[in-house]
Each structure stands twice: as structure tokens, then as C-alpha cells.
Amino acid sequence: MPADTHCPYCALQCAMSLTPVKGRDVGTGAPVTVAGRAFPTNRGGLCKKGWTSADLLATPDRLTTPLIRRAGRLQAATWEDALEFVAERLRTIRKGHGADAVGVFGGGGLTNEKAYLLGKFARLALGTSRIDYNGRFCMASAAAAGNRAFGIDRGMPFPVTDLDDADTILLLGSNVGATMPPFIGHLAGARTAGGLVVVDPRRSQTAQLTADDGGIHLQPAPGTDLALLLGLTHVVLAEGLADVSYLAERTTGIDALRRSVAPWWPERVQEHTGVPARLVREVARRLARGRGTYILTGRGVEQHVDGTDTATAAINLALVLGLVGRPGSGYGTLTGQGNGQGGREHGQKCDQLPGYRKITDPAARAAVAAVWGVEPDRIPGPGVPAVELLRMLGRPGGVRALLVHGSNVVVSGPDAGAIRRGLQSLDLLVVCDFVLSETAELADVVLPVTQWAEEEGTMTNLEGRVLRRRKALDPPAGVRSELVVLADLARRLGAPSAWPTDPAAVFDELARASAGGIADYSGLSHALLDAQSETGEAAHWPYPADSSGTPRLFLDRFATDDGRARLVAVRPRDLETGRLPGELTLITGRLLEHYQSGAQTRRVPELSAAQPEVRAELHPATAARLGIADGDAVIVRNVRGEVVARALLTAAMRVDTVFLPFHFAGRQCANLLTEAAVDPTSAMPEFKRTAVTVHRADSEAAA
């Protein structure tokens, strides 16, 4: 029988059905066939990654036995030996250096059940506050902006199908044409009306849609999106295009906002961003007169040291136009990782407990402690965010042991060279994975765990829709679920509380622990979600007991004390690039064929063949100045490291920028160059504006 489930990749969570292949010999071909399934987000369609996702289940280098490093080499071990080795080393490190000498690093691809149990494990079994996850590299700035403006963080506070009827959509910093292609179908109405506006320094696949359909592509200099948004808001207010009654009834802070955008007239915006003043005015007017207008942001405007303020400026613009909380209009942010939304709600962030509760809130601590059967003071206080956690690896008084789940930090983290050195200096590195990723290669212990099609669970997509992941086949012999691994380690460490391993039972505990929180799942269960499978799994949180969920937020009030949204005045901190002569601005991003660190997609033959190596995209004029021809091997370099890439010349680039995808490892790892500087509010790293030089490689480097 086919198993109805969802794609293992992005947060669109396209629906698919998996059918086991009968008569298949073990180790030969994909074990299931993939079919698209009718569902609101993808309507039966899938992208290249989704169609080829079954190939990953048959990857030849699948891990099926635990590995322990002995005499400098990873060697096969039994589960009993591996788990006891880990438990004993953890006991020794905690005894000698304290509980916070042990760190945990999670991932936005883990199911809700795994994310929840990982947070519980860190705090009760390890007693550590040192837990965070790779969502800090993805959604942190948008989340911080949403929380301070609306009192709640849900990527899209409306179903994605609401976009179908829009005639104007402003899309900032998101190349959905490459990252989630089925999403393009929801832009059809705006495209037909000539109302798709894309903000991107590159003429990406998504930006190209504007040329095809009469929309507008704004191509600002990297890192100047905040100035552009201030300019758009300036025009709306100066030309009397604001929704005055909405501002009076549903917001606070308009006077301070008005003062903050007053200096950002279009000509000044042009000077700082490169976007023509006439287009600033044209876009502002288009947004105001649209019959259905939406503003959507993505990582391109958020992965900056001022990412929270930039996302806030986009929210301010949406509020001034009266878009938020009104049917037929809105603001949202496009979550990236498959469970980027749910993964940050239930306890693997350093400052949160299940239900998106603040770990510093005594009432929240008491509520969760009651579910766990412990005293509130047994739960540690807040820890440190991801970049700081990684910076502490191996340092005196820092983290001496790290457990990694669902993340490949040595490729995906900023200043990857420093992360590698930190991992190598640890007393203990334990990685749970299904392949030997670049991070797992450095581990002292590698534990083989289940893949997406081999497990039950739930995911929460970019709309806040809670979905069922269903098992289609048994995992290989020797592979265990992380729920089982965490429960076994908790028992060996003498942890209090119950440690269920059945995903439905773990979800039931999660639901109880979230009750009354911002992200309330208390009315949900696997059984309820299974019953909804034929109606589109329409379970949007908050979903308290005896409710039917909340597909659209903010219709009556915002989640603030007085029910009003907060307009927060922001301004650019640093408008100067600080570039030296000859330097370009490096932008990192994604390719259609690959996902995240590439640990999965680089193992799919069709995807790897289409994009086998890193390519540095340069404008032809820039390449000519540097003496670089299309296809040349080039070195992209700065003080942190260098990347060897193949030059790809394209007029889609600005002349002052170079683009590298971040899916590749080794000398092709783009994050060897990025800086571990972070947004002061969200702790988001700066991924989109890095100073580099580019030059032709000699024959030795090219080889």
C-alpha cells in the first residue's frame, strides 16, 4: 500500500505518496517509487529534489552500524558498546567540567517529536543549557521581528493558497524558483496582473519571472534592503497612501516610524541601493493600489547583521499599508528547512521550552516541569545561540563535548574553518546521521539513524500547518530511531521523567507540554492528523484542545498585551561597504538541484550530475576586468580562507558581486569565507555580504 507522506526537503512540505518496489533486491535501486499527491501547497507537483528523493534511501554509503574512533580511525562497533562509550564519556566530562561543558546542536529537519525529545534530553538527561540548532542560520531574524511586532512567530500567518488571488506580491530575498519551485504556482495571479515585484541583487530564476510577465525586478546592492524598505515606506506616508484608519485602530508607534523614514526620500535610496528613484515610487504606489497585496521575505534580506531590523522594516511597510490580518492581503516569511517552523517551537532553541515558551518565564517553566514530572529548578536557564555555541568548542571553560543531530555544521556554519578546528579540539563529538557527512567524519562516535521514509512523526510547514510523516519501509538492520537513541542514553545517564520512544506517544507528551503556550499543539494528535489526511491536513497552530486550529492569524487582534501590532522604528547601522579596491561582495545561496549542506543531494546521482561542483557566478564585465573566462578555475579568497570554483559568467549578476552556492564541502565550501558576525537581536550570522577577491587559479590549484 502507498504511504502518504511529505517531501524530506524544504518547508513547502509537498505531499507525495511512496510505494514500495516489489521484488527489489537489497542494495539495488530505489526501494520506493515517488508520486506527487494533491495537496494545497504543491497540487501534485514536485521539484527535481522531490522526484529523486527515493534515490537517497538507497545511497551506497548508508550507515548501518555504529562507529567509534579508535587509533585515529572510525571502526564498527555494537550499539551496546557505542552507547555505553558515549554515556561514560559524558559522565566523566560533566563530573570534571560541569553540565554546561556538554553541548547539543540540533536541526530544522528533525521531526517535531525528535526536536522536542532532544530539548528535553539536553535539559534533563545532560542538565545543560548549551543547546541550539541550525535554524539560527535560517529563520532567526524573521522570528525575532515577528515576535516584537506581532507577539508571535509563525512564518506565514495564512494558508499559502491565499496568495492565488493576489494581484500584487512583493518578494524580498527569496529565490523560490530554485528553492521551492511548486510555490511559483501560487504567484500566478500576481504574474498575470503584472504585479510580481522581486527584490534580489541577482537576476535569479524568480526575478526572471518579472521580465516574462511585466513585473518589476529591483536589484539593490547587497546589504541595502533595509534602506530600500525605508524608502518604500517613506513614499507611502509622504504621498498619503497609508491606511490611516487601520494604523489608528490596530497599531502603535506610527509617529516614531514617520520620523524614522522621513530622511529616506527615493533619490537618497537610489544613492545607497542603486535602485532608481522612479522604481521606488512605482513599487510603493503599486503596493498601495493593489486589490490583493502581500509582502513576503526570505533569507536574502534576513541573513545579515541587521536582518532583524530589515525584516521589521518589511513588517512596518505591510502595517502602514494595512495588509496584516485582513483577508486577501498579508505579510509572511518563507521558512527554509523542512521543519524550520516546528523545529524552533518545541525546545531545541537555547531560550525556549515547548510551545514556544520563554525559558526564563517562571510560569512556563512550571508548566513544562509538571509534564516532565520534575521540579522547575531542575530545568537549566537560557543557553547561548548557535554561533556563540560553536565558538565555545574546545575553549577553556567552554564546550568539551558536542552531540549533533540533523546538522552538518562544518559545511553550513559561518567561518567553517574555525568550526572544523573547534570540532577537532573537543574531548567528545557524537553525530547521529544516516551517512558519513563532513561533520560525522570528524566524530568520535557516529550513530546510524533512520531516514524520513523509515519513520513516523510530524512536521510543521511554512504555513504553520502540522503534517504527518508516515513510514513507507523498514530501515536497514542495525539502524535506530533517534527517539530510541535519546531514550537509551537518558536511561544510562539516570535521567528523571519518562522517555517514550513511540512517535505518537512522544507527540502526545509534546502536546501536553505546549498547552497554553504561543505554539499550542494541545488539541492535536497523530490520530487526529491521520483523520484529516483526506481534507488537506488543515491543522494550523495554535490548535488548543477543543478547537479547529488557526489557519489565519491576526483577524481580530495581534498576540500582544493590548492586541495592537508594534511599529518599530529602525535605521541602517552601516551604509558603507568598507570594500577595498579590487574586492567584490560575496553572496551565498542555493541551487535548484541541491539542499542545505548538500549531504543528501550530493548523493543523488541525477542531482549531482546536474550540479557536480561549485561555480562562482560573475558578471562578464567583472570577469573581463579580472582576466577570467567562462569555465576558468578561480580562487575566491579573504582573510578567513579560500574557495576553488569554476567561473560561470552571467549578466544576471551585479558587477560588484560574486555568487557561490553553499552546498559543497572541502575546498568548495562557501562558508570558509563567511564571517561569524551576528545580528545583535537574533544572533543570525552575516551570510549575504562578505568581502572577497577573485582571480584565476593556477594549474595546480585548478587540479
* pLDDT tens-digit readout, 174-207: 999 999 999 999 999 999 999 999 999 999 999 9
Phi first, then psi, for residue 304 (nearest 5°) are -140, 165
Residue at 589 is within a domain: yes
Convert the pLDDT of each residue in 209-228 to its tens digit.
Answer: 998 888 999 999 999 999 99
Residue 582 amino acid letter = G
Cα 621 from Cα 138, distance rounded (Å): 32
pLDDT band at 615 (very low <50, low <70, confident <90, very high): very high
- The pLDDT of residue 701 is above 60: no
Which residues lie below 8 Å from residue 519, measured CB to CB, with a gap of 6+? 154, 345, 346, 355, 356, 541, 542
Residue at 302 is within a domain: yes
- The pLDDT of residue 631 is above 60: yes
Domain span at residue 32?
A: 3-58
The CATH number given to whatever domain includes residue 151 is 3.40.228.10
Using CA atoms, how far residue 508 sits from 108, 503, 521, 603, in Å, is: 20, 9, 9, 35
Find the mean pLDDT for residues 662-678: 97
- The pLDDT of residue 576 is above 80: no
Which pTM does this prediction carry? 0.96
Residue at 419 is within a domain: yes
* Cell of residue 53, nine digits: 528523493
The CATH number given to whatever domain includes residue 684 is 2.40.40.20
Cα 81 from Cα 196, distance rounded (Å): 58
Nearest-10 Cα torsion for 81, 84, 85, 90: 170
pLDDT of 532 reads 82
Q: Is 322 in the same domain as 349? A: no
Find the mean pLDDT for residues 37-55: 95
Residue at 153 is within a domain: yes
What angle, rounded to 10 degrees, do the helices at 266-273 and 225-238 form?
Answer: 170
* Cell of residue 63, nine digits: 550507515
Cα 287 from Cα 305, distance rounded (Å): 27
Convert the pLDDT of each residue in 332-381 to its tens digit.
Answer: 999 889 899 999 999 999 999 999 999 999 999 999 999 999 999 999 99
Residue at 568 is within a domain: no
Q: Is 154 in the same domain as 254? A: yes
Last residue within a domain, chosen from 318, 333, 348: 333
Last residue within a domain, chosen from 291, 314, 333: 333
- The pLDDT of residue 284 is above 70: yes
Residue at 639 is within a domain: yes
Cα 35 from Cα 30, distance rounded (Å): 13
Q: Is 232 in the same domain as 307? A: yes
Residue at 550 is within a domain: no
pLDDT band at 304 (very low <50, low <70, confident <90, very high): very high
* H or E stretch at 297: strand 293-297
Which residues lie below 8 Å from residue 474, measured CB to CB, with a gap of 6+? 454
Chain mean pLDDT for the chain: 95
* H or E stretch at 76: strand 73-76
| Bridge pairing between strands 32-36 and 15-20 | antiparallel
Which residues lie below 8 Å from residue 511, measured CB to CB, with a gap of 6+? 521, 522, 523, 524, 525
Cα 525 from Cα 679, distance rounded (Å): 37
- The pLDDT of residue 250 is above 60: yes
Total number of domains in the chain: 4
Q: Is 382 in the same domain as 290? A: no
Q: Is 153 in the same domain as 131? A: no
Find the mean pLDDT for residues 260-280: 97
Cα 135 from Cα 400, distance rounded (Å): 22
Convert the pLDDT of each residue in 525-537 to its tens digit.
Answer: 999 999 887 555 7
The CATH number given to whatever domain includes residue 133 is 3.40.50.740
Q: Is 353 in the same domain as 315? A: no
- The pLDDT of residue 24 is above 80: no
CA angle in degrees (0–180, nearest 5) for 369-370-372: 60
Convert the pLDDT of each residue in 382-438 to its tens digit.
Answer: 999 999 999 999 999 999 999 999 999 999 999 999 999 999 999 999 999 999 999
- The pLDDT of residue 10 is above 60: yes
- The pLDDT of residue 699 is above 60: no
Q: Is 497 in the same domain as 527? A: yes
Convert the pLDDT of each residue in 437-452 to its tens digit.
Answer: 999 999 999 999 999 9
Cα 458 from Cα 243, distance rounded (Å): 40
- CA 374 to chain CA centroid, Å, is 32
pLDDT of 534 reads 58
Helix then strand count (H, E) for the chain reads: 24, 29
Find the mean pLDDT for residues 93-108: 97
Q: Is 326 in the same domain as 345? A: no
Please, which residues bridge with residue 469 across strands? 457
Q: Is 131 in the same domain as 154? A: no
Entry field: residues in the chain: 703
pLDDT of 29 reads 76
pLDDT of 578 reads 58
- The pLDDT of residue 700 is above 50: no
Last residue within a domain, chosen from 311, 333, 355: 333
106-120, 345-359, 685-699: segment of lowest average pLDDT: 685-699
The CATH number given to whatever domain includes residue 27 is 2.20.25.90
Convert the pLDDT of each residue in 507-558 to its tens digit.
Answer: 999 999 999 999 999 999 999 999 887 555 789 999 999 999 999 999 999 9
pLDDT of 74 reads 98
Residue at 237 is within a domain: yes
* Cell of residue 650, nine digits: 552571467
pLDDT of 703 reads 44
Q: Is 132 in the same domain as 145? A: no
Which residue in the block uniquely carries the three cell numbers 541601493?
273
Q: Is 449 in the same domain as 597? A: no
Q: Is 82 in the same domain as 48? A: no
